[in-house]
Amino acid sequence: MEHREPNIEPEVVSWEMAAVYRAMTPMQRLDVAWSLWRFVRTGLLCTTRQRHPDWSESRVER
């Protein structure tokens, strides 16, 4: 097997992770995507609330 240098660019999937995702069922991959979406959304909401404490919850949600 060819040795590859680790890639630290976040938008690039490593060969190892690609193999993990290929081994998953479509439903498992959707579950991972949904979990990541919820994680990012929660972080964005928290950051927005912190930066704009005067905003209403509906404005933060928008």
Q: pLDDT value at position 5?
A: 66
**How many domains does the chain divide into?**
1
Is residue 12, in this structure, part of any structural domain at all?
no
Give the domain extent around 33: 26-61
Is residue 8, in this structure, part of any structural domain at all?
no
Is residue 32, in this structure, part of any structural domain at all?
yes
Is residue 2, in this structure, part of any structural domain at all?
no
Beta-carbon count within 10 A of 45 CB: 13
In which residue are the tokens 């479509």 written?
26
pLDDT, one tens digit per residue, over 11-40 is 777 889 889 999 999 999 999 999 999 999
Query: Exposed (0-12), middle (13-18) or buried (19+): which is 36, by Cβ within 10 Å?
Result: exposed
Token pair listed for 14 = 């490593």
Q: pLDDT value at position 24?
A: 97
pTM for the complete prediction?
A: 0.66
